[in-house]
Structure 1
Amino acid sequence: MHSERAGMPLRLLAWGGLAFLHAPILLIVVYAFNTEDAAFSFPPRGFTLKWLGIALGRADVLEAVKLSLQVAALATLIALVLGSLASLALYRRTFFGKSAISLLLILPIALPGIVTGLALLSAFKALGIAPGLVTIVIGHATFCVVIVYNNVVGRLRRTAHSQIEASLDLGADGWQTFRYIMLPNLGSALLAGGMLAFALSFDEIIVTTFTAGHERTLPIWLLNQLSRPRDVPVTNVVALLVMLATMLPILGAWYLTRDGDSVAGSDK
């Protein structure tokens, strides 16, 4: 009789691969609270929150955090608006060029980041736009739109169109139908897409490197810290904060979309 459970060797291999991938992350967490200020002193000599206080007291760290939060919030807002409008326009309509538009929408996340960064830098130079906050937000929004679009269009495809038709038949106008029928059905998809977009924008570094100019987001600050070995404990703390800031929204998005077939707006 065929068993659906994987064999013990395969399970050990899978768990070993997961451990290998996550071991560096665990080391960063350990060294962020190590009492020694050496880069690598194993085993850790003790536990301390000193480096956390030092990191939160440094002006350069706080400025980088502030800029990253601003960029992520603005890019997420743009992505929510454009991604939702694009999904509403494309999910049921069939017209000439629809496939090309869909490809253009998902292309930024499919291309390597260095290609997207170079393309954006060339475009900004051609238009005479100086690198700064605006260019970073535009660069991040290009791939954040894809995240929101995929989440919303997936939910729309599972939404029974009869609900919309019933609303219109009962006298509701387009805005009322959107507000009372479609928006509640799309709520969790929008929230999940926004959280994923925020997480991706917050820790993006490749596109940011080409569009930031003299601005320093938190990932760029971390990259610059690689040449300062004396600041390794503080760098570990900041890296831990970045991981938490990106991991929590991703887990939240997964939690909101884990039961995609039984959420409001599905065909059930």
Structure 2
Amino acid sequence: MQLSRRARVALRVAAGLGFAVIYVPLLLVLVNSLNPDRSASWPPPGLTLHWWSVAWTNSGARAALWVSVKAGLGATAVALVLGTLIAFAVARHRFFGRDALSFVVVLPIALPGIVTGIALNSAFQAVLQPLGIGLGLFTVVVGHATFCVVVVFNNVAARLRRTSGSYEDAAADLGAHTFRAFADVTFPLVRSALFAGGLLAFALSFDEIVVTTFTAGPGIETLPVWIFGNMTRPQQAPVVNVVAAVLVLLSVIPVHAAQRLSADTATGSRV
């Protein structure tokens, strides 16, 4: 489709405005983390790394970061196992209710976070508390896994739909048992999709706040929850800016890596 020069200029301006709305506030967070003043004055009178050193020694922020990492790794592990198994079932087999299963798996990421959080909180109190299991890191991992499964499932299922099952059949004809065929043939074909899905799942879990609020027990505070709780404290404002900047940077890394790993899917390359 050929566009006129005026249409191309209009599209570029609209795209530039859209990117500005998204990324300029993130840039301001990074700049404010270097602001020597406690208040977010603009323009900043100078640049300093003082608040970065203060944030590094902040025990609350460091503890929250470690909780976020543990929750993200746990949710990612659960999502990789469940998402991969469901993707293989849907993409490689035909059975009654296959489309319904796909819908049920994908649905949690479309639901409002507060609805998921309330539902999980009620379920945990009704099922786990009578068994002596209260809200804590375990329930946070389970809550995050409900939507992390979706990204792993979508990545692996998309790769399997592009990959013919004849590869596994050929390996079986040559005498390879199921696990050998998976290790030598199937896993190399879906490896990058697994890594990309795992990285995206970790990024989703690391940034989650709504579901965490309803599933975390006393003393369990992830980094986003710590930021939200300290935003209204004037003395903590510079440290919050630093932690928010770190959160932005840590979120960019897995998303960028996942995009690079998934690039071969877009280009149609084969392993």
TM-score, with structure 1 as normaliser: 0.95
One-letter code of the match for 1:134? F
Pairing 1:179-218 to 2, within 5 Å after superposition: 179-214=183-218, 215-218=220-223
- In the other structure, the counterpart of 1:9 is 10
CA distance in 2: counterparts of 1:224 and 1:145, whole angstroms: 28
Pairing 1:60-75 to 2, within 5 Å after superposition: 60-75=60-75
1:233 correspondence with 2:234: no
1:120 correspondence with 2:120: yes
Cα RMSD after superposing both structures: 1.4
The runs of at least 4 aligned residues of structure 1 exceeding 2 Å deviation read 1-6, 261-265
Counterpart secondary structure, 1:227: coil
Identity %: 47
**Alignment length, in residue pairs?**
264
Pairing 1:18-37 to 2, within 5 Å after superposition: 18-37=19-38
CA distance in 1: counterparts of 2:162 and 2:186, whole angstroms: 12
CA distance in 2: counterparts of 1:138 and 1:18, whole angstroms: 34
1:136-156: CA deviation from partner (whole Å, max 9, x where unpaired):
000001111111000001000
Counterpart secondary structure, 2:92: coil
TM-score, with structure 2 as normaliser: 0.94
One-letter code of the match for 1:81? V
1:209-231: CA deviation from partner (whole Å, max 9, x where unpaired):
10012211100000101220221
CA distance in 1: counterparts of 2:2 and 2:163, whole angstroms: 37
1:182-223: CA deviation from partner (whole Å, max 9, x where unpaired):
001111000000000000000100100100122111000001
User: Which of 26-35 and 87-96 deviates more?
Assistant: 87-96
Deviation at 1:176, TM superposition (A): 0.5
- In the other structure, the counterpart of 1:248 is 253
Q: Which runs of 5 or more residues in structure 2 are unaligned?
A: none
One-letter code of the match for 1:150? N
- In the other structure, the counterpart of 2:162 is 158
One-letter code of the match for 2:158? G
Aligned partners of 2:264 and 2:270 also within 8 Å = no
CA distance in 1: counterparts of 2:144 and 2:56, whole angstroms: 26
CA distance in 2: counterparts of 1:2 and 1:53, whole angstroms: 54
Indicate how the Cα distance of structure 1 residues 33 and 139 shifts in structure 2: closer, same or farther if over 3 A, else same. same
- In the other structure, the counterpart of 1:50 is 50
1:81-115: CA deviation from partner (whole Å, max 9, x where unpaired):
11111111111322112122111111111111011
Deviation at 1:262, TM superposition (A): 3.1
